[in-house]
Structure formats: C-alpha cells, structure tokens
Structure 1
Amino acid sequence: MTDQVSRGEAIVGRAREWLGTPYRHQASCSGAGTDCLGLLRGVWRETVGPEPEGVPSYTADWSEPAQSEDLLAAARRNFDEIGRGEMRPGDVLVLRMRETGVAKHVGILAETPAGLLTLVHAYSGRGVVESSLTPAWVRRIAGVFRFPGGSV
C-alpha cells in the first residue's frame, strides 16, 4: 500500500467520523454542526493541522451574484489540484450545484468495500451524509484536489 493510499484512507476515515453531524451554516464542529466547507475545514484540522487561511462570512448564494469562482480559487491556493483521472478516495471534489452555476459545494471522495465511489459531504436538511457519486454529481465536478502533505 502506498503512502498516498494510506493517507487517503485516513482522510476518508476522519470524514466518516463526521457522518450524522447536523447541518449548520458556517459551522465546523463534528457532532454539533457543520456545512460542506466546515466539514472540509474540520478534516483539514484533523489531518493536516491549523487552517491555512481565515474563512470570510458567506451566504447561501455566495459567489453567484458576481459569478466569481471564489471556492475554486481558495481550493487552488490551499490544495494540490489534480486531474479527474487521478482522483482517488481522500481527494476533495469541488462541485457546482447547477451544471452552469459557480462552484460552491465540496465533498470528500470515498469508496465502499464493494468498490463504489461515494461522496462524504454536508448539505442543508441532511447534515453530513455519504452519497453515491452518481453521474449527476460527476457532471458537476469543477475541480479535484488532494490534501497537501502533513500529519494524519
């Protein structure tokens, strides 16, 4: 098993520990409340260390009025961007909620024991869940990123 595979498995394990955490806009506390970005921030703290930059206040429609790719830009500053063909469990998927909209959702790629790809993510009304990576989600991938080196 390569170090990267072990690291990816550790990241997925940490993300799955957040399953069932209720949805709370702008929160990032396992078991108490989180949104999709808060889940990613929490897994970062648990696997890499302190967060690399502060997160400004944001609304549910953030980036939409200006059609600005703020989430993609932040991912590019803090993660290692990789190609879709290289993605594996533990990687971060930045997604569009609408195929033509700005990217404003994130999740962590995982895999079932049967080899089916899933997405650990948080969204309103559901909290942190693990969903099948359906073709509808795949079409909405705006970028794939890998956590930078650091402790796990």
Structure 2
Amino acid sequence: MSTASREEFVKEARSWIGTPYQHQGRIKGVACDCIGLVIGTARALGLTDYDIDGYGKRPDGNLRPVMESQLESVPLDAAQAADVVLFAWASHPLHVGILSDPSHVIHAYLPNRRVVENIIDERWRAQIVAAYHMPGVV
C-alpha cells in the first residue's frame, strides 16, 4: 500500500472541485458522488483499490458500517485535514466529505450539483456524526 501526506490527500480532493455530481460516479472532471470523491481521491494516490457500489439514492443504514469496515474511526474533536466525515440528515447517515481543514469540507453535494468546498458552519457541524482516517494517509 502507498502512503500520502494529509496535504497531498487534500490537494488531490481539491483537484476534483467542479466535477459534476452523478450518483455512483467515479471519474474526476466527468462525474462523481460523495463516496466517489473519497474513493477517487484515495485511488489517485494509490491508497486503495476498494470500491463501494450498488448503493441506493435513499438511506438504507449501510453507509456507516461500510465506512467503519474500511476506514479508521477517530473522535470528532480529533478530526484533521484529510479525514473523512460522515453527515446525517434526519438521523440517517447518508453523506461524506473530506476535511480540508477543521473548518472546511470538500464534498460532492447534490444541491450544488458538483464537488465543492464549503465552510463548516454550526448547521453543518451539528450534522457530523462520525470521522474517519484514511489508511495510508500520514
């Protein structure tokens, strides 16, 4: 397995900004979803060949267990740049993003219809339910 610095991981994730949103998309500049952004970033740096597919557009309760089986859980208050955060809406974990720093997240966000980098305001922070470290990021 390769390794990458936190800075390299964030730089690669930022290179996806502007990529149009498409459910289960995996191609930088063409289309991706939130999981596709995380997987694509990790693949570009040689950190994984794993993928998650076959998931629906609606919450089915599988996202959190899949995240926990592939990534290393970290306490929310210890999450750093390059860590992956899990968001929940109406108690359903259904969205992920990559922290670019403790106050910003890069994510493929359907309402924006593309990969964007947003500030994590109080509303967003209240929806973060878990944080994970990508194996190989040092």
**What TM-score, normalized by structure 2, do the two folds share?**
0.88
2:20 counterpart (22, 34, 40):
22
Identity among equivalent positions (%) equals 28
Q: How many residues align?
A: 135
Q: 1:8 to 1:30 in 2, by over 3 A?
A: same
1:145: how far off? 0.3
* Equivalent residues of 2:59, 2:93 under 8 A apart: no
* Runs of 4+ that moved beyond 2 A: 47-52
* Root mean square deviation of aligned Cα: 2.0
Instruction: Give the structure 1 partner of residue 125 of structure 2.
Output: 138
Q: Check if 1:105 corresponds to 2:95.
A: yes
CA shift digits 1:69-98 (9 cap, x unpaired)? x111111111111001211111000111x2
1:16: how far off? 0.1
Structure with bigger gyration radius: 1
**What TM-score, normalized by structure 1, do the two folds share?**
0.81
Structure 2: give runs of 5+ residues left out of the alignment. none
Tell me, in whole angstroms, the C-alpha distance in 2 between the residues paired with 1:148 and 1:62: 25
Alignment of structure 1 residues 2-151 onto 2, 5 Å: 7-52=5-50, 54-63=51-60, 68=61, 70-96=62-88, 98=89, 100-111=90-101, 117-126=103-112, 127-149=114-136
1:125: how far off? 4.2
* Equivalent residues of 1:48, 1:148 under 8 A apart: no
* Equivalent residues of 1:108, 1:121 under 8 A apart: yes
